[in-house]
C-alpha cells in the first residue's frame, strides 16, 4: 500500500505534468534590485460628432518617475505595504483582520489599516482568442514594450500611481514581488470542477483529501513567510445549486453517480435520514419500488420536487460544503498558518435557501468572505447585510465591473451593466465603490479586469469592455483619473462607516 508521502510525491509529478507549474513558479521569484521607472502616458480625448466617435491623441503627455523596490512606493499617507497611516493596530508581520470601533479593516504587516484596492487579470498574457489563435493583448505588449520586464515596470508604476495596493486573481507572478497580492489555489478547480458547465467533483473521496494536501504543500508552504501575500482564494465561483450554468442541485447530480462512489453513498445516507428510514415514504414520492435504501445506490433517476426532497437537497449541500471547506482549510492552515483565507469567490448573494446555507457554513471556516457580483448599479445593501449577518465575517467584492459602448467592443457576452460612455462608466464605478466601502464590514474591492477582452471573444466568448486599459495597453483616461481620486478617499469614507 502506498503511503501518503509517496502519494503526494506522485501527485506532485502529475501536477507538474498537467501544466500547473505556473502557480508553483510563483515561489521561485527572487528579490530584485531597486530601479527607477519612467512611463510616458499619452492622454486621449474622445468626441462624438453625429454619432461618430473620434479620438484625438497626443493632447497631453504625463511623465511619472517611481522608485521601485521590493516594497513599492506609495503616497506619503500610506505605509510601504499600502496601509493607511491614519490608523494603526498591532503589527504581526502579516496581513490580518481586525474590527476597530465597529469597523472592519485588513491590517498590514506593520499594523496599519488596509483596504484592499485591487484589479484582476493584471497579466501580460491577456485573454487568448480562439478565433484569432492568439492573445491580442500579449501581442500588443510585446510590440509596445519589447519585453515582459518593461511591461512589469510600466504596470507597477501605473498601479501605484492610480492608487491600487492589491494584485488580484489571475495576475502575473512577476508583479507579486512589488505589491501585496492574492493567490487563487484552485483546489477543486484542479480537482474536477468545471467552471463553464458547473460540474462539481466528488469531495467525499479520499483522493480529495490527498489532493488538497498536495496543493497546500506545494503552493502555500513556500509562501508562508511572505509578508506581501495577503491571503488565499480557495477557488473561484464553485456552483452550489441552480445558476447560469445548470438548473440542477448538487444532490440531483450526485444521485446519478455510480453506487461505488463516495458521493453517491452520502446521497443515500441523506435520503435515509430525511425520509426517516421509511422506504415506503420515499417510494411514494420518487414513484419507485425499492425494498431498501441500499438499492438506491443503483438508482440514477430523478429526484421529485417535494418539500421533503428539497430538504434532502439542502442537507446534501450542507455536507458537501462542510467537507469541501474543512478539508481545504485544514490543508492550508497546516502549511501556512500566517495568511488569510479569503473565501472562494462566490458568484452570487444569499438570495435563496441554498445560498444562505453556503454562506453560513463558509463563515465558520474563512477569514474573509469574497463575492463576485455584477448587474448592480449600486451595491445590493440588503443582501450584503444579510450576508454579514449569516457569516459574521468581513467582505471583499472580488469581481464587479461596468462596460461602455464607446469602447468599440461588442459587449454582447459577459456580465455587468452597460453604459454609453467612459465618463458614465467612471461615474458608475465611483458611486458603486464609495457606497460599498461605506459599509463597515467591507474591507476592499477588486475590479474586473485590467485589460479589455478581445472583440472576437475569449475562451468562453466574452467580448467586453472590462479593462481600465485597452487591448493596446493604452489607459482609459476617465477611468484612471477616477480611480486615482477614489482610492485616496476610501479610508476616510470607511472610517466613518460605523
Q: Is 348 left (phi over 0), alpha (psi -120 to 50) or beta?
A: left
Q: Report in angstroms the alpha-carbon separations of 485 from 76, 160, 260, 428.
A: 15, 13, 58, 14
pLDDT above 70 for 16? no
For the domain covering 4-495, report its CATH number: 3.20.20.80
pLDDT value, residue 74: 84
Q: Name, in order, each residue with C-beta under 8 angstroms of 273's C-beta and a sequence gap of 6 or more.
A: 315
- pLDDT tens digits, one per residue of 116-125: 999 999 999 9
For the chain, the 3-state helix, strand and coil shares in percent, each to the nearest 5, are 40, 20, 45
- pLDDT tens digits, one per residue of 142-189: 999 999 999 999 999 999 999 999 999 999 999 999 999 999 999 999
C-beta separation of 264 from 297 below 8 A = yes
pLDDT above 60 for 8? no
Q: Worst-scoring range by mean pLDDT, 21-25, 279-283, 350-354, 471-475?
A: 21-25
- pLDDT tens digits, one per residue of 21-58: 333 333 323 333 333 444 444 444 333 333 333 333 33
Closest by Cα among 93, 92, 97, 101 to 115: 97
Average pLDDT, the chain: 89
- Distance CA(497)–CA(99), nearest Å, equals 12
- Distance CA(232)–CA(308), nearest Å, equals 37
- Distance CA(102)–CA(398), nearest Å, equals 23
Query: If you write DSSP's letter for every residue of 257-313 in order, what string do you get?
Result: S-TTSHHHHHHHHHHHHHTTT-HHHHHHHHT---SSGGGGGG--S----SHHHHHHH
Q: Give the number of other CB atoms < 10 A from CB of residue 29.
A: 12
pLDDT value, residue 75: 86
Burial state string for 192-209 with b = 16 or more CB within 10 A and e = fewer than 16: ebebeebebbbbbbebbb
C-beta separation of 220 from 211 below 8 A = no
C-beta separation of 338 from 225 below 8 A = yes
pLDDT value, residue 20: 40
**Cα separation of the two ends of the chain:** 58
Q: What is the mean pLDDT of residues 351-380?
A: 98
113 beta partners: 84, 107
- pLDDT tens digits, one per residue of 208-266: 999 999 999 999 999 999 999 999 999 999 999 999 999 999 999 999 999 999 999 99
Q: What is the mean pLDDT of residues 468-477?
A: 98
pLDDT value, residue 102: 98
- pLDDT tens digits, one per residue of 383-424: 999 999 999 999 999 999 999 999 999 999 999 999 999 999
Q: What is the mean pLDDT of residues 194-215?
A: 97
pLDDT band at 72 (very low <50, low <70, confident <90, very high): low
pLDDT band at 498 (very low <50, low <70, confident <90, very high): confident
Amino acid at each position: 500500500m502506498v503511503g501518503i508521502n509517496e502519494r503526494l510525491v506522485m501527485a506532485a509529478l502529475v501536477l507538474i505534468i498537467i501544466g500547473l507549474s505556473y502557480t508553483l513558479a510563483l515561489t521561485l521569484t527572487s528579490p530584485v534590485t531597486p530601479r527607477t521607472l519612467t512611463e510616458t502616458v499619452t492622454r486621449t480625448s474622445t468626441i462624438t460628432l453625429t454619432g461618430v466617435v473620434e479620438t484625438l491623441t497626443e493632447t497631453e503627455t504625463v511623465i511619472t518617475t517611481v522608485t521601485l523596490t521590493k516594497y513599492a512606493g506609495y503616497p506619503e499617507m500610506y505605509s510601504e505595504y499600502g496601509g493607511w497611516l491614519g490608523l494603526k493596530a498591532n503589527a504581526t508581520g502579516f496581513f490580518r483582520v481586525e474590527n476597530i470601533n465597529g469597523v472592519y479593516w485588513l491590517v498590514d504587516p506593520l499594523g496599519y489599516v488596509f483596504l484592499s484596492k485591487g484589479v484582476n487579470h493584471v497579466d501580460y498574457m491577456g485573454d487568448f482568442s480562439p478565433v484569432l489563435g492568439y492573445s491580442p493583448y500579449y501581442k500588443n505588449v510585446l510590440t509596445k514594450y519589447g519585453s515582459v520586464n518593461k511591461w512589469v515596470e510600466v504596470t507597477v508604476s501605473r498601479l501605484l500611481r492610480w492608487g491600487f495596493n492589491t494584485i488580484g486573481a489571475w495576475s502575473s507572478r512577476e508583479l507579486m514581488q512589488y505589491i501585496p497580492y492574492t493567490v487563487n489555489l484552485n483546489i477543486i478547480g484542479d480537482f474536477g470542477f468545471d467552471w463553464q458547465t458547473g460540474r462539481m467533483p466528488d469531495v467525499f473521496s479520499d483522493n480529495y483529501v490527498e489532493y488538497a494536501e498536495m496543493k497546500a504543500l506545494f503552493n502555500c508552504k513556500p509562501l508562508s513567510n511572505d509578508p506581501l501575500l495577503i491571503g488565499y482564494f480557495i477557488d473561484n465561483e464553485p456552483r452550489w445549486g441552480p445558476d447560469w450554468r445548470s438548473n440542477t442541485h448538487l444532490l440531483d447530480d450526485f444521485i446519478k453517480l455510480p453506487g461505488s462512489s463516495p458521493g453517491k453513498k452520502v446521497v443515500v445516507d441523506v435520503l435515509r435520514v430525511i425520509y426517516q428510514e421509511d422506504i415506503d415514504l420515499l417510494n411514494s414520492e420518487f414513484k419507485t419500488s425499492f425494498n431498501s435504501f441500499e438499492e438506491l445506490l443503483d438508482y440514477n433517476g430523478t429526484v421529485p420536487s417535494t418539500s421533503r426532497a428539497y430538504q434532502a437537497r439542502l442537507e446534501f449541500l450542507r455536507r458537501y460544503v462542510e467537507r469541501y471547506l474543512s478539508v481545504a482549510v485544514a490543508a492550508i492552515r497546516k502549511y501556512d498558518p500566517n495568511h488569510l483565507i479569503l473565501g472562494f469567490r462566490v458568484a452570487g448573494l444569499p438570495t435563496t435557501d441554498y445560498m444562505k446555507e453556503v454562506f453560513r457554513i463558509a463563515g465558520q471556516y474563512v477569514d474573509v468572505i469574497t463575492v463576485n457580483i455584477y448587474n448592480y448599479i449600486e451595491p445590493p445593501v440588503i443582501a450584503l447585510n444579510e450576508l454579514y449577518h449569516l457569516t459574521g465575517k468581513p467582505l471583499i467584492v472580488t469581481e464587479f465591473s461596468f462596460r461602455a459602448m464607446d469602447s468599440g467592443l461588442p459587449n454582447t457576452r459577459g456580465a455587468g451593466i452597460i453604459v454609453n460612455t467612459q465618463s458614465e462608466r467612471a461615474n458608475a464605478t465611483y458611486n458603486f465603490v464609495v457606497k460599498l466601502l461605506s459599509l463597515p464590514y467591507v474591507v476592499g474591492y477588486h475590479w474586473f479586469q485590467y485589460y479589455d477582452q478581445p472583440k472576437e471573444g475569449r475562451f468562453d466568448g466574452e467580448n467586453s469592455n472590462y479593462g481600465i486599459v485597452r487591448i493596446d495597453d493604452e489607459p482609459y483616461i476617465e477611468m484612471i483619473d477616477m480611480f486615482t481620486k477614489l482610492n485616496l478617499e476610501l479610508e476616510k469614507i470607511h472610517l466613518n462607516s460605523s
